[in-house]
Structure 1
Amino acid sequence: MSTFIVDHGLVNWADGPPIIVAAGRDDTLRQSAPHSHARGQLFASMRGLLTIGVDDAVWVVPSVHAVWLPPHHVHSARSHGPFEGWGAYVAESVCAELPASPCTIRISNLLREAVMRAATWPLDRYQPLSPAQERIAGVIMDEIRSLPPEPLGLPMPRDARLQRIAGALVDDPASTRDLDEWAAWGALGSRTLSRRFVLETGFTFSAWRQRARLMRALEMLAAGSPVGTVALDLGYSTASAFIAVFKQAFDCTPSVYQQRLLAD
């Protein structure tokens, strides 16, 4: 994704350092068409939401999670609004013990700090890593290998009309449009919208919409936003309504989840 890498060829180095890390920010939407790299990749955001498309699935990933892609795996990427993030690119020769399939993982503080340190290294394929840098690279790979996968992605529909609606909901999860209004906006019938959303995502339209709101809630909580602010900004009528939905999804209240994030 060009947000992270200026010279896109860097991520296709077959040789060079075992890990290349780049971090960056952009205040405009960035999007890349389906492509692949010779290296394995770990994508994550520090601010904003990141969409990663793989095969017939798309994940919307909040800032507390990252997506791992094995080498040569075709994917697309898109940021939603202002975005700040990083990408770690792992040489294929050291990917054998890393996950063989795309997955989302919860980012630990150890992984985040190791990646941020590696992002300061010069990008030089002919300069071997120092012993200290090799230890940090080893920490990053250990974290990718050991952190448990979490099913927190948001599946996106494949139909172009439904994709347009889903993308608009991701960009503005607090929208007050109901199903009929979204169907009219997307130029399809309400029954078609309802039926195809289930077929293509595994969720009803209302359940998918709720999940999109929760994905944004995770990002806001990770940024330290008060629970009441998160609830109102995401369109919930009261903080208690948001707390009830969040607790049902994550088995804890938003405040407890936020405390765990900040203390992790």
Structure 2
Amino acid sequence: MEPESDDIMETPRPLVALAAEYFSGEILDFHNHSRAQLLYASLGVMTVETHKGIWVVPPFRAVWVPPRLNHKVIVSNHISMRSLYFRPEFCSNTPEDCCVVSVSPLFKELILAASKMPRLYPLNGPEERLIAVLIDHIQQMDITPLNLPIPKDPRLKAIYGHLDENPGDKRTLEEWGREIGLTRRTLTRLFLSETAMTFGQWKQQIRILKSLTLLAEKEQVTTVAMEMGYDNPSAFIAVFKRALGKTPSKYFSDE
């Protein structure tokens, strides 16, 4: 995967939209754009990483990336990607940081329609009116909690590295403290300082984000629950619904 060229960013239109297919394991390394970007995957799951953390983007959601923010895109499985690039002056009321947003049926159709338009779409016609409606939509995006702060402290990063590979690990904060040579109190303070979350909240968020990728690959809920360290599917479903407002099956339905 290669970043989009500068000539695309310099197109004399408020918005430029591109469509592309990517496959499991593809990575677009750290880069940034002069325009704000909305990345939408109508199929599959992708992860966006910045210096602050990671954002997991399942189907029917999109990720907002502000202008000049260095970010990396990791493809978990085959995705049909739509990339929309907005000139900064049309994004005055949009989030200042990376975030995952909900995509309503209307928002989805606007994104898909824009991605089929030529870069130099005609002005003063239906294409320009469609873009105006799309710009209105990005001013009112609903943010969803699909991000994970990545700690900078090397001791906490070691814990993150392990849980990223083994999200079902059930070690407590005390057990981790003994392993890395810190008291429970110090470790608690470090997690709050570096992630603004307790260890329990942070570990649960890792599990939620990891489960999204597996569920998008059509893994059974029971299998995902066991892999995430839950004693039974009901416990996992309850945590998932409490975190995201819907059960896994409802979350992945085409709303």
TM-score, L = length of structure 1: 0.73
> How big is each residue's C-alpha offset from its partner over 1:197-233, in whole Å with a ceiling of 9 and x where there is no partner?
3320122333211111112334555666543343234
Alignment match, 1:8 = 5
Aligned to 1:262: 253
> CA 1:109/1:182 → structure 2, altered by over 3 Å: closer, same or farther?
farther
Structure 1 222/136 Cα, relative in aligned 2: closer, same or farther at 3 Å? farther
> Structure 1's 147 and 231: CA in aligned 2 closer, same or farther, altered over 3 A?
same
What's 2:228 paired with? 234
Q: Secondary structure at the match of 1:154?
A: strand
- Whether the 8 Å CA contact 1:80–1:171 is kept in 2: the answer is no
Amino acid at match of 2:72: A
One-letter identity of the residue aligned with 1:262:
S
Corresponding residue of 2:237: 243
Secondary structure at the aligned position of 2:131 is classed as helix
Matched, 1:24 2:27: no
2: CA distance between counterparts of 1:243 and 1:233?
13
Counterpart of 2:121, as a letter, is P
Tell me the SS of whatever aligns to 2:167: coil
Measured in 2, the distance between the counterparts of 1:12 and 1:183 equals 51
Conserved? CA contact 1:14–1:91, under 8 Å: no
Matched, 1:215 2:209: yes
One-letter amino acid of the counterpart of residue 110, structure 1: L
Contact 2:211–2:224 under 8 Å retained in 1: yes
Q: Judging changes above 3 Å, is the alpha-carbon distance between structure 1 residues 86 and 165 closer, same or farther for their aligned structure 2 residues?
A: farther
State which of 199, 206, 229 in structure 1 corresponds to 2:200: 206
Instruction: Tell me by how many angstroms 1:105 deviates.
Output: 1.5
Of residues 43-52 and 218-227 in structure 1, the stretch that sits farther from structure 2 once superposed is 218-227
Alignment of 1:50 onto 2:67: no
Distance in 2 between residues matched to 1:47 and 1:93, nearest whole Å: 31
CA distance in 1, matches of 2:95, 2:198: 30
Instruction: Quote the Cα distance in structure 1 between the aligned partners of 2:48 and 2:157.
Output: 12
Other structure's SS at 1:262 match: coil
- Percent identical pairs in the alignment equals 29
Letter in 2 for 1:58: G
After TM superposition, the structure 1 = structure 2 runs for residues 3-152 of structure 1, keeping only pairs within 5 Å, are 5=3, 7-10=4-7, 12-13=9-10, 15-16=12-13, 18-33=15-30, 35-45=31-41, 46-53=43-50, 57-63=52-58, 64-72=60-68, 74-79=69-74, 81-82=76-77, 84=79, 85-96=81-92, 98-102=93-97, 103-122=99-118, 124=119, 127-129=120-122, 131-152=125-146
Q: How many residues align?
A: 247
* Unpaired segments ≥5 residues, structure 2: none
For normalisation by structure 2, the TM-score amounts to 0.75
- 1:106 is displaced (CA, Å) by 1.3
The alpha-carbon deviation at position 28 of structure 1 amounts to 2.0
Letter in structure 1 aligned against 2:225? A
Check the 8 A contact 2:36/2:88 in 1, yes or no.
yes
Deviations 1:76-95 (A, max 9, x none): 22416446344211123432
Shift of 1:241: 1.8
1:189 aligns with 2:184: no
The residue type paired with residue 42 of structure 1 is: L
CA distance in 1, matches of 2:100, 2:178: 31
Contact 2:15 2:84 survives alignment (8 Å): no
Counterpart in the other structure of 1:159: 153
**Contact 2:91–2:139 (CA under 8 A) maintained in structure 1:** no
CA distance in 2, matches of 1:9, 1:181: 47
Matched, 1:173 2:164: no
| Aligned-pair Cα RMSD in Å | 3.5
- Look up the equivalent residue of 1:259 and give its one-letter code: K
